[in-house]
Amino acid sequence: MMRSVYSSMPPYLSIIIPTLDEECHITDLIEQILVNAPPSLIEIIVSDGGSKDQTRQIVRRLGQRDARVRLIDNPKQIQAAGVNAAVAEIDPRARYILRLDAHSSYGDTFVADILNEIVHREVDSVVVRLRSVGQTCFQRAVAYVSNQAIGNGGARHRMGDASGFVDHGHHAIFKRETFVALNGYDEDFDTNEDAEFDHRLRAKGGRIWLAANLPIDYYPRASLTSLAQQYYRYGRGRARNFMKHRQRLRLRQLLPALLFLYCLLILPFGDADPYLVLPLGLYAGVVLLSAVRLLLDYRSLCIVGVLAAIPAMHLAWGCGFVTGCLAKLLAAPAMPVEAPDGSKS
């Protein structure tokens, strides 16, 4: 039986929800939390990046009904800054911080279950498995891809069904003292801030537990354009992480970058030497075979969207990574040059 060192004190919890135009989801999420939350929940802080819809008004109305709900401003708009701003204002009694995303779906007992998980595991962070689900036909196609190795590279927090210690996962709950000691998220990251934080946490000897038994449902982008824009930002975020920490790239991260570079470099010469485009034909074959396999698994005509979603995800991520690395290299200050007299210029 697992023992908790916190058995003598309540595991006080603050929940943070970064938002931007989430009027379609925020009411249900907050009401679900309030109905099912454990007694140790102190507050729900909604950190809003300047929503133009009814999100802010909805949160204020909910706050009038329950004083634990409050709204703060996130003028920088990105999620990293929103979470940091909320952490700076949380109740001093809070020992744990739970980050929830308004664009995701959680089970009724999720809050209580994940709080129990971090208390009894005695770890610095508990991460969860992210499971994509779709409402529109294109969303379902993206979800089918996102839940497969061809779409997520076999990432454990996207496919793993076994709990255990990991280097990274979808962020959920932290020890407050750990998050504060690491100065929270790096606000230079508009995406990939979670992986960057996990790198620093692991470097300091922190422990991250994947609770595969507590998956959450995520609703992917509903159009090809927004999907490509999202994966471009993901790629740039990974580039910032790579350039900051010089982390070794995994194969799933290297391949999209190589695919983008290959297309960029050889397509102008394809007419001169048809053999140069042979690898591209092989890639198209892999995409087609993946679509056929998914069609056999799901028996849905929405699978047609897979033929566009897979290349969009790969190429946009690769483009974001390559341009992100180049941007960092070009922005790096020049090394001073030593003159013959010993001075530097």
Domains of the chain by start residue, with CATH = 13-136+153-220 (3.90.550.10), 241-331 (no CATH)
What was the pLDDT predicted at 340?
Answer: 44
pLDDT single digits (tens) 253-307: 899 999 999 998 887 765 666 777 888 889 999 999 999 999 998 888 899 999 9
Token pair of 93 as six digits: 């009694």
What was the pLDDT predicted at 151?
Answer: 86
Contact 225, 310 (CB under 8 A): no
What was the pLDDT predicted at 267?
Answer: 73
Longest dimension (CA), the chain: 76
The rounded distance, in Å, linking the Cα atoms of 240 and 315 is 18
φ, ψ dihedrals at 173, nearest 5°: -125, 145
What was the pLDDT predicted at 339?
Answer: 45
pLDDT < 50: residue spans in the chain: 1-8, 335-345
Taken in order 145, 147, 149, 154, the sign of the CA dihedral is positive
What was the pLDDT predicted at 332?
Answer: 63
What was the pLDDT predicted at 103?
Answer: 83
Q: Where are the alpha helices (DSSP H) in the chain?
A: 26-36, 55-65, 79-87, 110-121, 137-146, 149-152, 156-159, 176-181, 193-203, 224-245, 251-266, 278-298, 306-331
What was the pLDDT predicted at 270?
Answer: 59
- H-run or E-run covering 208: strand 208-218
pLDDT single digits (tens) 55-81: 999 999 999 999 999 999 999 999 999
* 3-class state of residue 191 by DSSP: coil
Question: What is the secondary structure of 47-114 as a DSSP string?
Answer: EES--SSSHHHHHHHHHHH-TTEEEEE-TT-SHHHHHHHHHTTS-TT--EEEE--TTEE--TTHHHHH
